[in-house]
Amino acid sequence: MSTEKKHNTEEVRLMKGNEAIAHAAIRCGCDGYFGYPITPQSEIMETLMDLEPWNTTGMVVLQAESETASINMVYGAAGCGKKAMTSSSSPGVSLMQEGISYMVGAELPCVIVNVMRGGPGLGTIQPSQADYFQTVKGGGHGDYKLITLAPASVQEMADFMVKSFDLAFKYRTPVMILADGIIGQMMEKVVLPPFTPRWTEEEIREQTPWATLGKTPDRKPNVINSLRLEAADMEKLNLVLQSRYREIEQKEVLFEEFECADADYIIVAFGITARICQKTVELARQKGIKAGLIRPITLYPFPTAQIKEYADKVKGMISVEMSAGQMIEDVRLAVNGKVPVEFYGRMGGIVPSPEEVLEALENKLIG
Partner 1 sequence: MNIADIINPANLVMEKTKVMNDTPMHYCPGCSHGVVHKLIGEIIEEMDIQDKTIGIAPVGCAVFAYQYLDIDWQQAAHGRAPALATAVKRLLPDRYVFTYQGDGDLAAIGTAETIHAANRGENITIIFINNGIYGMTGGQMAPTTLQGMKSSTSPTGRDIPRNGFPLNITNLLAQLEGTCYVTRQSVHTVASVRKCKKAIQKGFENSMLNKGTSVIEIVSTCSSGWKMTPADSNDWMVENMFPAYPMGDLKNI
Q: Where are the beta strands (DSSP E) in 4-160?
A: 12-16, 32-35, 60-63, 84-88, 110-116, 147-149
Stretch touching partner 1 by CB under 8 A, among 56-64, 114-122, 254-262, 294-302? 56-64
How far, CA to CA in Å, does 363 sit from each of 61, 111, 263, 340?
Answer: 50, 40, 17, 13
> In 271-367, which residue ranges form alpha helices assigned H by DSSP?
271-286, 304-311, 328-335, 354-361
Nearer to partner 1, 99 or 349 (CB): 99
Torsion on CA atoms 226, 229, 233, 236, rounded to nearest 10: 40
Stretch touching partner 1 by CB under 8 A, among 98-106, 186-194, 264-272, 328-336? 98-106
Strand partners, 295: 256
Nearer to partner 1, 60 or 350 (CB): 60
Nearer to partner 1, 227 or 305 (CB): 227
Torsion on CA atoms 43, 47, 50, 53, rounded to nearest 10: -140
Q: Give how many residues touch partner 1 by CB under 8 A.
A: 38
Q: Distance (Å, rounded) from C-alpha 162 to C-alpha 21?
A: 9
Q: Distance (Å, rounded) from C-alpha 301 to C-alpha 251?
A: 9
For 173, the enclosing helix (H) or strand (E) is: none
Closest CA to 291 of 351, 332, 350, 344: 344
**Per-residue contact flags (x/-) with partner 1 for residues 153 to 192, judged by CB under 8 A:** ----------------------------------------
Closest CA to 140 of 180, 176, 86, 104: 104
Sign of the torsion formed by the C-alpha atoms of 341, 347, 349 and 351: negative
Nearer to partner 1, 212 or 304 (CB): 212
Q: Minimum CB separation from partner 1 for residue 66, in Å?
A: 6
Q: How many residues in the chain?
A: 367
Position among 52, 98, 257, 362 found at the interface with partner 1 (CB under 8 A) = 98
Q: Minimum CB separation from partner 1 for residue 208, in Å?
A: 12
**Per-residue contact flags (x/-) with partner 1 for residues 106 to 145, judged by CB under 8 A:** x---------------------------------------
Position among 17, 35, 92, 99 found at the interface with partner 1 (CB under 8 A) = 99
Q: Minimum CB separation from partner 1 for residue 109, in Å?
A: 14
How far, CA to CA in Å, does 143 sit from each of 93, 194, 242, 300?
Answer: 18, 36, 9, 14
DSSP secondary-structure letter at 208? -
Site for partner 1 in 65-94 (CB under 8 A): 65-66, 68-70, 72-77, 79-80, 82, 84
Nearer to partner 1, 70 or 278 (CB): 70
Site for partner 1 in 207-226 (CB under 8 A): 212-217, 221-226
- 38 near partner 1 (CB under 8 A): no
Position among 20, 22, 64, 248 found at the interface with partner 1 (CB under 8 A) = 64
Sites of contact with partner 1 (CB under 8 A): 31-32, 34, 60, 62, 64-66, 68-70, 72-77, 79-80, 82, 84, 98-99, 102, 106, 212-217, 221-227
